[in-house]
Chains A and B, each alone.
Chain A
Amino acid sequence: MTRIRVQSENFDIGAEFAALTAERTDIGGIGCFVGTVRGPAAAMTLEHYPAMTERAIAGIVREAERRWSLLGCTVIHRYGRLLAGENIVLVLAAAAHRQAALDATAFLIDWLKTKAPFWKKEESVDGAEAWVEARVEDDAAAARW
């Protein structure tokens, strides 16, 4: 089962694990990635393109499902103003075996970073704001798949 949510509120990683695995005995491994707001930024504001975001994420998940035999997948991405240390994104990918679960998780976050319509603006501790620039390393990470 695929769960995709775009929301301002935090998510409960344990509850998402439980929802993914409830009454399942076919799953052998679950990959998990949680992205968080890294200091020294005091906060980050994430803007997104509401009409496109879920659709873009769904397309990325479909691509992961095409490449790996997934038994379930959860992607939750937050928007709005998030303080340093807060969760930004959750990716869970369940499969029968670890390699598919781990690879699909890495693929999903690599593609989310370069193909989902979100933009981050960083706030430093002195209140200065700056848009985060896309990194060539992220493009390379997405292109390796």
Chain B
Amino acid sequence: MADVEAPLTILYFAWLRERTGTAQESVTPPAGVGTVGELIAWLAQRSPGYASAFANRRAVRCAVNQEFAEPATRIGPGDEVAFFPPVTGG
């Protein structure tokens, strides 16, 4: 499967939104970013805020196209990827 070359929509919720200072953005990751885990590694080095948001990877959950995903989940062009803490509804 090809690496991501078209823009992804990325959403951030709760303290990930606060730390990145971003609720939603469109990004085009470089070649070599083909999974959620690789996307996190790339995002984390964009700024101190992003580094802080992703510092504790075990506290970060992810959804790809509105379905819960894992670090190994593949991502492709046009996907919607959301990052958030463990959920606390109910």
Which residues of A come within 8 Å of B, CB atoms? 35, 46-49, 51-52, 55-56, 77, 88-89, 109, 112-121, 131-134, 138
Within 8 A of A (CB), among B44-90: 63, 66-68, 80, 82, 84-90
Given contacts A89-B90, A134-B88, 10 further A-B contacts (CB under 8 A): A46-B89, A47-B14, A52-B67, A89-B89, A119-B84, A119-B87, A120-B89, A121-B14, A134-B85, A138-B90
A-B contacts at CB below 8 angstroms, number: 71
Which residue of B66, B68, B80, B88 contacts A132 across the interface (Cβ within 8 Å)?
A: B88
Give me the 10 closest cross-chain CB pairs, A-B, nearest first. Answer: A118-B89, A113-B90, A134-B86, A119-B14, A52-B66, A112-B90, A132-B88, A116-B89, A120-B88, A131-B15
Residues of B within 8 Å of A, CB-based: how many?
17
Q: In the docked arrangement, what's the CA distance between A86 and B88, Å?
A: 17
Question: Closest chain B residue to A115 by CB distance?
Answer: B87
In the complex, B42 has a CB within 8 A of chain A: no
Chain B contacts for A138, CB-based, 8 A: 90
Which residue of B82, B86, B88, B90 contacts A49 across the interface (Cβ within 8 Å)?
A: B82
Min CB distance A134 to B, Å, is 3
Min CB distance B22 to A, Å, is 14
Q: In the docked arrangement, what's the CA distance between A48 and B11, Å?
A: 11
Q: In the docked arrangement, what's the CA distance between A51 and B88, Å?
A: 17
A114 B63 Cβ-Cβ under 8 A: no
Most chain A CB neighbours (cut-off 10 Å) among B14, B80, B89, B90: B89
Instruction: Please list 5 pairs of residues, one from A and one from B, whose beta carbons are closer than 8 Å in the complex, sorted by A's number.
Output: A89-B90, A117-B82, A117-B89, A119-B85, A138-B90
Min CB distance B33 to A, Å, is 22
Q: In the docked arrangement, what's the CA distance between A131 and B15, Å?
A: 7
Q: In the docked arrangement, what's the CA distance between A88 and B63, Å?
A: 24
Chain B contacts for A48, CB-based, 8 A: 89
Chain A contacts for B82, CB-based, 8 A: 49, 52, 117
Question: Closest chain A residue to B14 by CB distance?
Answer: A119
B14 A131 Cβ-Cβ under 8 A: yes
Chain B contacts for A132, CB-based, 8 A: 88
